Amino acid sequence: MDALKVELGDRSYPIFIGENILTQSNIASFVSGKQVMIVSNETIAPLHLQALVDQLAGLQVDQVILPDGEQFKNLASVELIFDQLLEKRHNRTTTLIALGGGVVGDMTGFAAACYQRGVNFIQIPTTLLSQVDSSVGGKTGVNHPLGKNMVGAFYQPQVVVADIGFFSTLAKREVAAGISEVVKYGLIYDADFFVWLEENMQAIVNIDPQAMSYAVKRSCEIKAQVVAEDETEQGIRAWLNLGHTFGHAIETHQGYGNWLHGEAVAAGTIMALDLSCRLGWISEELLARTKAMFEIAGLPVLPPENMTEDDFIQLMSVDKKVLEGKIRLVLIKELGRAIVTDDFDHDLLKQTLAIAK
Ligand code: GLY
């Protein structure tokens, strides 16, 4: 089992990574009170809930099982968590445990941030995407019909347990959706990791344990470093949103859950690289290499054909990075280095928005 640390002073916490480590990670030692509320979904609970409950003997363990899907990442679902917490008389010393993918993790963290003005929570991410990105760093929240992740809070967990054994029951489409976030770390931060990913992409798609462990570990190392430097996204943390401004627009336009987050990020990343290329910052070769990896993973490399330029502009204008009415984008300056900027030729952006036409 590998152990990393997110260094945030007295809110620092470990990330444990390995195969079949749920029983080794001593989850109960991160529960400070006597009550636990497990939040999971209808797909994950039948597969993995009992193994977690077995680790919590001697505690009051309650559960709320939500429907599965991005379309349920809303305040109504968070309210179901509050209903259970109150019905089962959970007090301020309770610990919420998220057992699921990014949707479960984001909503559980948000419920923990709000319940009785803040209680502890633990992340047990079960998808590739949630292990390499959303479970680490304390971004929590829900979607609004007018924009992705528009209601939320920064709120850090007590521990993250990233067990790659969960991937044996993960749908291929979900594995692919996590790969776009893994490739992101190479593009924005670590050129060597990008090259390693090119060499090992088929092994990752095949969920080879050694390749997958390294991919998750290196991604979490980079995420932990970036979050330690810039917890509330005043600077470098925004790099982690490569492809997300385009991607969030796609998810919102297509209806939450129709494109998986990671699929929309893949198409969005290609759009960000396309614009970086048009600006003369990166070569067509880097764009082609990234596309090739996404294609091996079965990820989309073009936005949906039914989205117009105006659809994009309208939806991208409610992005959280918008400043003084200007769309700001994460673009790539060179392999391993990103930039957040509103200083680009809007005619070039229009050409990028039209690449599927
Ligand atoms: N998923 C991007 C971030 O955590 O900042």
Residue located nearest, by CA, to atom 3 of ligand 1: 240
Answer whether 139 contacts ligand 1 (Cβ < 6 A): yes
Q: How far apart are CA 227 and CA 260, in angstroms?
A: 24
The verdict on the CB of residue 133 being under 6 Å from ligand 1 is yes
Find the 88 Cα to ligand 1 centroid distance in Å. Answer: 32
Q: Are residues 198 and 148 in the same domain?
A: no
Same domain, 219 and 238: yes
Is the C-beta atom of 105 inside 6 A of ligand 1? no
* Model pLDDT, residue 325: 83
Candidates 70, 231, 233, 251; catalytic one? 233
List pLDDT tens digits, range 159-186: 999 999 999 999 999 999 999 999 999 9
Pairing of strands 160-163, 13-18: parallel
Q: Do 180 and 154 fall within a single domain?
A: no
- 124 and 26 in one domain? yes
Confirm whether 117 is a catalytic residue: yes
Report the nearest-CA residue for atom 2 of ligand 1: 240
User: Which residue of the set 148, 244, 289, 291 is catalytic?
Assistant: 244
> From ligand 1's centre to the CA of 240, what distance in Å?
5
Total number of domains constituting the chain? 2
Same domain for 165 and 177, yes or no, is: no
CA distance 324 to 218: 36
Residues 132 and 203 in one domain: no
Q: What is the pLDDT of residue 321?
A: 80
Q: Which residues of the chain have pLDDT under 50?
A: none
| Ligand 1 atom closest to the CA of 237, numbered from 1 | 5
Residues 176 and 138 in one domain: no
Q: Is 237 a catalytic residue?
A: yes
What is the Å distance from ligand 1's center to 120 Cα?
20
Residue 32: predicted pLDDT: 94
Which of 121, 148, 169 lies at the terminal end of a domain, its last residue?
A: 169
Residue 357: the pLDDT is: 77
- Active-site residue identified among 48, 90, 149, 181: 181
Q: Is 253 a catalytic residue?
A: no
What CATH number did the domain enclosing 46 receive? Answer: 3.40.50.1970
Do residues 86 and 119 share a domain? yes
Active site (annotated) includes residue 231: no
Ligand 1 center to 137 CA (angstroms): 7
Q: Whole-model pTM? A: 0.95
Which residue, among 123, 108, 213, has the nearest Cα to 160 in the 3D structure?
Answer: 123
Q: Ligand 1 center to residue 226 CA distance, Å?
A: 9
What is the predicted pLDDT for the residue at 320?
83
81/119 same-domain check = yes
The CATH code of the domain that includes 274 is 1.20.1090.10
Structural contact between residues 101 and 77, judged by C-beta atoms closer than 8 angstroms: no
Residue 146 has a pLDDT of 87
What is the full DSSP assignment across 262-311? HHHHHHHHHHHHHHHHHTTSS-HHHHHHHHHHHHHHT---S--TT--HHH
Domain that holds residue 144: 2-169
- Residue 181 alpha carbon, nearest atom of ligand 1: 1
Q: Are residues 208 and 124 in the same domain?
A: no
Q: Are residues 134 and 202 in the same domain?
A: no
| The pLDDT value given to residue 250 | 96
CA of 323 to the centre of ligand 1 (A): 18
Decide which of 150, 169, 188 is a domain's last residue. 169
Residue 147 is predicted with a pLDDT of 85
Question: What distance in Å separates the CA atoms of residue 198 and residue 303, rounded to the nearest whole number?
Answer: 23
Asked if residue 346 and residue 239 are part of one domain, the reply reads yes
Q: Given 73, 148, 237, 289, which residue is catalytic?
A: 237
Residue of 48, 73, 139, 253 marked active site: 139
Residue 199, number of CB atoms within 10 A of its CB: 9
| 66-110 pLDDT, tens digit each | 999 999 999 999 999 999 999 999 999 999 999 999 999 999 999
Q: Select from 145, 169, 193 the last residue of a domain.
A: 169
Residue written as token pair 């969030």: 248
